[in-house]
Chain A
Amino acid sequence: MALYQKVCRGGLNISSIFHSPATIIDAEAIYREAKKPIYLHGGQEVVLRLQNDLADISDLIDISNIDELHGLHKEGSTLSIGAGENHAAIAGSGLVAQKAPVLCELASNIGDSQTRNRGTIGGAIASKTRSSDWNAALLALDATIHTTKTSHMAEDYFSRGGLTAGELITKICFEIPSKGIYLKQTRASSTDALIGVLVSRLEKKCRVAIVGSQRVAFLCPALEAALSAKFHQDVYDQSHIPEGILADNADASLEYQLNLVEVLCKRAISSCA
């Protein structure tokens, strides 16, 4: 147990206790006993929070040494990715390239190489960032998010409040698609998606998931239905896109975002055809 000291702006010293458990059971036990703990993996969100948020964090629980959170496997018709795998490991995995190359593509376009080598898929999903690229993959590949308490279907995970206190994501199982394409137009200031579109062809259906800066990703059931009847970009119609989710923002007008949705959907559909 080492003391983690943070020197804040204005000379305030906040100290948190730093833990580095080797098992999930230990991590959860430390969490239960601490006053105001937080799990830390790659730190890409947590460090930012520590910088901006003067609220005291009593205990930092580093979960990066827990073997149970690692691993990339094929499990039946799904591809299982340990919550502790970082974006670079996923992008570089031969298994992922073989089973779901769309995930390699997606992971390799997250942030910069430092972020990809630190940031994990579990951290991205736990922090529920709106424009996270992974949100599109969760929805479009009918993913199941396994945690220490239960398992969540991706759609439920987004619509219900996410994780409960101390709950750890252990792995994510994606349905292996026969085809999948993820395309994103980034914002000017980062590699975050202004609009990202993931079109997938699963065993029984096709999926179209959209991420934007407004809300976590959403599916387009009407477009999916039209594509099930005829998988061709011509079936795309603006009316297929759920209304009221995207809106004008500081980066782009609604009109432009809808144009991006159309262009990226059509391109992704024709690449998946």
Chain B
Amino acid sequence: MINIVDSNAAFNWQLGDEETVERAFSCAEHVSATQIVNNRLIAAPLETRAANGKYDESTGRYTLYATTQNPHILRRVLAEEVGIAPEHMIDVLSKDVGGSFGSKIFVYGEECLCLWAARKLNAPVKWSATRGESFAADVHGRDHLTEAAIALDKDALITAIKVNTLANLGAYLSPFGSLVPTYNYAMMLAGPYSIPNVFAEVTGMYTNTSPVDAYRGAGRPEATFVVETLIDNAANELGLDPVELRTRNLIQPEQIPYQTPTGLVFDSGDFPAHFEKAIERAKYFQFNERQQKSLRQGKRRGVGISNYVEACAIGPSAIAGVLGADYGLWESATVRFLPTAKLEVVTGSHSQGQGHETTFAQVASSALGIPLADISVLHGDTRCTPVGMGTYGSRSLSVGGSAVVLAAEKLIEKGRAIAAHFFYCQSSEVEFASGVFKHADGEDQMSIQEIVRIAHAPHNYPEDLEPGMEATAFYDPKNFTYPSGTHICEVEIDPDTGSVAVVNYTAVDDFGVVVNKSIVEGQLHGGIAQGIGQALWEHVKYDCETGELITKSFKEYAVPRAEQLPSFDISFTQTPCEHNPLGVKGCGESGAIAAPPAVMNAIYSALGERVSMPATPEKIWRCIKKSAGGG
């Protein structure tokens, strides 16, 4: 090997003012420091990646069927970066994708090769990953090694947090590989707490492993884990109840809008509201009784709290620009009435199982007063969807759903003009509600269905108005949205075997307006399961000597199974997002963000000591043995 570089550090990045933070630490009454490992994870969607490339010699067009979260971005990269063909000569279709969790955002070599080979061979070329290939070659998540410290004053108010993180980037820099452990991570390092000073230093490291990039939560779970670990450690050292320490430091509703020391502005939120509700629902203050009961059965019981706030619904295009991206982060929608007054909602978002077909239809239905049965939602086909930015970062409903609202509003405006023509009045005198246009001061009214038929048969029609009933809108959010919540986990540990049972799990989240409760609950179930999985079982291992992936199948890589999980108690508080038309905040990642610290704090509460994730029975057994032996 020729040594051409001095080190495997790809970059060193900082956020915050080191000097001010050091000053806060030097005047602190109490300082708590710890080392944190955030274990490396595999996304493991049910469907592995697959692609089918086609080339049509007669037209020169390429068609790629791929399991991507963002068909338009894939097309742009295939054209602009890979150079397969100009953008307008490539069609990308991505239908019914079986899960992704971030791992299908990226453009991988196989998709490109399928297209390239299809032209070479003049035949369709199909590829699908085996589970082993998927584990080895899809991007992995997390993988941080962090030194973290927290400073508190005499009233146990947190004055500063500082972290120094080594982030494993893998062997190649993946598209968001540098974003996830920097901005996505460090900007959340004050959590929902009023912490004036934060300093983060992150070094991205190249290693002989698969690239690490966005995986459900992407940076926010790592940050939440740091903050919630530090707070519980400090509470323990100060002899304070973890609830008390959190209560003293939570940002209060009257402080909202709140400027964080890391550059974000929380537009809405009531953190004490979900915190108090969760404590109540989890019967936190009756924990001792349950603990005594467990003790009588020879079991150790622990309870752990995790508060989080995250920045999602990415995001304002201007911020992407500041960070150096040459793309925007808006979303698009076309809302199209067919001549029979049935509706097509065509979105630039993409569903990999999140149920957009349901929620987007609900949004259009309530905006236009059309029955759900008359609406179909289309996505995942660059041939017939407006250019879109796809799905990741819990953005679909907040950004894509907002575009649907804007497009629907354009149609309502047009409907008013048509109705006004028949009511012999001004558009401004026409009111619209529940699918009916009404003259404000008269008896006249027309249903939206009648208006749509007229727009398609414009025989008697306003002058200068276009026929048809179809509108496209693009929505660029003004800010991130900030979902927040409190999760409380209770575990029971068998001290002889180290086995952990998650016995209770309470989640109270504020996602703003909830459009579809079952879908939101489903997102939480999956996210919490993955979070518990990270805390207790999941861990990517490589052979240190050969660099070979050891956890190359579900035999070696343990994902959670339904029977290992309790029934989750899920409820909500609601403070609507202030800056999008739906008031929604995004719920896709919260479970995976909140759960790991909740579980690990519960184990800490049961053992009085920290073990690293995943908290395997053997690690716990060793920890108990060590403390029993006085070592």
Across the interface, name the chain B residue whose C-beta is closest to A11: B126
Does B318 lie at the interface of the complex (its beta carbon under 8 Å from any beta carbon of A)? Answer: no
Does B176 lie at the interface of the complex (its beta carbon under 8 Å from any beta carbon of A)? Answer: no
A-B contact pairs, 23 of them (CB 8 A): A112-B561, A112-B563, A185-B497, A188-B536, A188-B558, A189-B537, A189-B556, A189-B557, A189-B558, A189-B559, A190-B555, A190-B558, A250-B550, A250-B556, A252-B618, A253-B618, A256-B498, A256-B617, A256-B618, A256-B621, A259-B497, A263-B497, A264-B497
Distance, CA A187 to CA B616, complexed state (A): 10
Does B499 lie at the interface of the complex (its beta carbon under 8 Å from any beta carbon of A)? Answer: yes
The digit string for A185-218, where 1 denotes a CB below 8 A from any CB of B, is: 1011110000000000000000000000000000
- Point out the residues of chain B lying under 8 angstroms from A250, CB to CB: 541, 550, 556
Chain A contacts to B: CB under 8 angstroms:
9, 11, 112, 185, 187-190, 250, 252-253, 256, 259-260, 263-264
Whether B537 lies near A188 (C-beta < 8 A) is: yes
- Point out the residues of chain A lying under 8 angstroms from B13, CB to CB: none
Distance, CA A259 to CA B537, complexed state (A): 20
The digit string for B529-565, where 1 denotes a CB below 8 A from any CB of A, is: 0000000110001000000001000111111010100
Q: A112-B563, A188-B614, A260-B497 are in contact. List 14 more A-B contacts (CB 8 A).
A: A9-B130, A11-B126, A188-B537, A188-B558, A189-B537, A189-B557, A189-B559, A190-B555, A190-B558, A252-B618, A253-B618, A259-B496, A263-B496, A263-B497
The digit string for B295-324, where 1 denotes a CB below 8 A from any CB of A, is: 000000000000000000000000000000
Whether B499 lies near A185 (C-beta < 8 A) is: yes
Chain B: interface size category: 20 to 34
Whether A259 lies near B621 (C-beta < 8 A) is: yes
Q: What's the least CB distance linking B535 to chain A, in Å?
A: 12
Distance, CA A119 to CA B559, complexed state (A): 22
Distance, CA A259 to CA B550, complexed state (A): 25
- Point out the residues of chain A lying under 8 angstroms from B128, CB to CB: 9
- Point out the residues of chain A lying under 8 angstroms from B556, CB to CB: 189, 250
Distance, CA A250 to CA B555, complexed state (A): 11
Whether A189 lies near B496 (C-beta < 8 A) is: no
Distance, CA A190 to CA B536, complexed state (A): 14
Q: What's the least CB distance linking A184 to chain B, in Å?
A: 11
Distance, CA A188 to CA B615, complexed state (A): 11
Chain A CB count within 10 A is highest, among B496, B497, B556, for B497
Across the interface, name the chain B residue whose C-beta is closest to A192: B555
Across the interface, name the chain A residue whose C-beta is closest to B617: A185
- Point out the residues of chain B lying under 8 angstroms from A190, CB to CB: 554-555, 558
Distance, CA A98 to CA B618, complexed state (A): 36
Across the interface, name the chain B residue whose C-beta is closest to A183: B497
Across the interface, name the chain A residue whose C-beta is closest to B539: A188
- Point out the residues of chain A lying under 8 angstroms from B558, CB to CB: 187-190
Distance, CA A250 to CA B618, complexed state (A): 12
Across the interface, name the chain A residue whose C-beta is closest to B128: A9
Distance, CA A253 to CA B621, complexed state (A): 12
